[in-house]
Amino acid sequence: MGRRPGAPLRAVRGTARRRTPRALRRRPWASPEQRAGQGDADPRDDLWSVAHLAHYLLSGRPARGEGPPADLADYRRLAALGQAGLFAARAADRPRRRRS
């Protein structure tokens, strides 16, 4: 018996509700809006998280999670992400998905 399309997961018998691990709801992985509980989550928040994860993987340390990492210029490939606005502290300043 499968879940009917569009049904929320909690309505399916036998499924456990999963919680986001606490570490992922904190700085630097969650965007400032998510940590503050403001606005709606959208793909721009995912871009923030991916950019900060890329920084962590290349540098070996997390950024402070408030904007571009202080050492961003030291990582040439990450600097392009910064120029694209992925590290912007406000979702409105991050790039939107381009429609084709």
Consecutive 10-residue averages of pLDDT for the chain (100 residues) = 52 49 64 82 85 89 84 85 86 77
Question: pLDDT at position 12, please?
Answer: 45
For residue 58, the SS3 value is helix
Question: pLDDT at position 2, please?
Answer: 56
Question: pLDDT at position 87, please?
Answer: 86
Question: pLDDT at position 25, please?
Answer: 59
* Residue whose C-alpha is closest to residue 47's, from 82, 94, 100: 94
The whole-angstrom separation of Cα 19 and Cα 63 is 24
